[in-house]
Amino acid sequence: MKFVLISPLKKQPAPVFPAADRVGLFNIINPHYIQRYIRGEGGQIELENAVYVTVSQRKKEELLKKFRYKK
């Protein structure tokens, strides 16, 4: 997996990473690498390479809606 550093002032990752989702203030992930979602206050996402990313409370519902319709 390749990590890319972008400016924290970047509001929308779409032009840089079309498939990316923002899950927090500084965290942008590619949904193709998500293994599972771990429930919690905001929750965490486990990626394929065993990296855990914290999901903000504000982004939790938006993220869960996307995965409910992918079944």
Q: Is residue 63 part of a domain?
A: yes
Beta bridge partners, 22, equal 28
Residue recorded with tokens 């992930």: 29
Q: Is residue 48 part of a domain?
A: yes
Task: Tell me which residue of 65, 45, 62, 63 sits closest to 53, measured CA to CA.
Answer: 45
Tell me the per-residue pLDDT of 48-62, one tens digit each, with 9 for 90 and over: 888 898 888 888 888
Contacts of 64 (CB under 8 A, 6+ apart): 37
Q: Is residue 53 part of a domain?
A: yes
Band (71; pLDDT cuts 50, 70, 90):
very low
Does the model's pTM come out above 0.95? no
Q: Is residue 2 part of a domain?
A: no
pLDDT number for residue 66: 80
Q: Is residue 33 part of a domain?
A: yes
Instruction: Count the domains in the chain.
Output: 1
Structural domain for 43, as ranges: 21-68
Residue 42 has pLDDT above 60, yes or no: yes
pLDDT number for residue 2: 65
Q: Is residue 43 part of a domain?
A: yes
Q: Is residue 49 part of a domain?
A: yes
Task: Tell me which residue of 36, 43, 11, 37 sits closest to 26, measured CA to CA.
Answer: 11
What is the rounded CA–CA span in Å between residue 36 and residue 34? Answer: 6
Q: Is residue 13 part of a domain?
A: no
